[in-house]
Structure 1
């Protein structure tokens, strides 16, 4: 069996609530192995056989059946996660800066010609990969770190159009997913 990281989009917001213990039990009942949830925001490490598309479809179907609402799942293989962890761009950041590190995971490849402009001291785009955008969010006067990320990403989302599936994670979560 292969190890996967599954990142659920848009849960524990409004009426789309799920307890991680219930999610774990749901996935184990559907035959996934070594299921471990990370934090309460829909991050799961699991083992399964099959193609990425088949595993993703199986996850989405099991979750919808159990919780009564559809949830998009962005999936990464263990190898993809190991590469992300090994080759991330966060080493260039000032270790004393008051910032948070984030990655946006996309389900499908991004347009090759996308250009995103950083806002120095606010939202710094560090790298755009085929299915990830890495950025640093600096603490603002209001105490928030990702206050203007939507503005910086606007050109990307305009180019992608509707039907795009992505989910943002704090880098600390990615660092925990394979442990």
Structure 2
């Protein structure tokens, strides 16, 4: 069995409200075990013999049929998530800055984000084909250039962004 982290896009914002108990119960109906949710923003971990692609497709189909919304998720093996988080040079805790990692299910979307951010003083750091890190001033995340770019329709079905502190909590849940 492989441990995975599954990140839902757009949960508990914009009218798509799910409790983590509902999410956990729904996902437990799939061919997975050890399902845990973290925080209220659509982070879950599980173990399965499915591939990352099969798990992504299964979770998206389940969320669409169970909760009735156009669900998109990014799925990473736990080991790969650990590598990405460990390679992030931004601080997890800083009094003036939030550090974010945008996760991608489509490497072309990462390329598009890099091109869209070219020439901006965004601080974008590509961590791998499925992740990029970027800082935002505390209290100014939604106004930051990368937040505005990554919120565009082009990225809706293939990206989700998490605070670096949140990703540390997800990794801790996998380890426990």
TM-score, normalising length: structure 2: 0.81
Segments of structure 2 that go 5 or more residues without pairing to the other structure are: none
2:50 maps to 1:55: no
Query: 1:171: Cα distance to partner?
Result: 0.6
Query: 1:153: Cα distance to partner?
Result: 6.3
Match of 1:43 in 2: 43
Report the RMSD for the aligned CA atoms in angstroms.
Answer: 2.8
Match of 1:169 in 2: 162
CA contact (8 A) 1:5 1:77 kept: yes
2:99 maps to 1:101: yes
Query: 1:169: Cα distance to partner?
Result: 0.6
Instruction: Map residues 1-150 of structure 1 onto 2, 5 A cutoff.
Output: 1-90=1-90, 97-109=95-107, 110-111=110-111, 114=115, 116-119=118-121, 123-127=122-126, 129-139=128-138, 144-150=139-145
Q: Secondary structure at the match of 2:132?
A: strand
CA contact (8 A) 1:99 1:145 kept: no
Q: CA 1:96/1:56 → structure 2, altered by over 3 Å: closer, same or farther? A: closer
CA distance in 2, matches of 1:170, 1:9: 13
User: Which structure shows the higher helix fraction?
Assistant: 2
Number of residues of Structure 1 aligned to a counterpart in Structure 2:
168
CA contact (8 A) 1:116 1:152 kept: no
Query: 1:134: Cα distance to partner?
Result: 0.3
Segments of structure 1 that go 5 or more residues without pairing to the other structure are: none
TM-score, normalising length: structure 1: 0.80
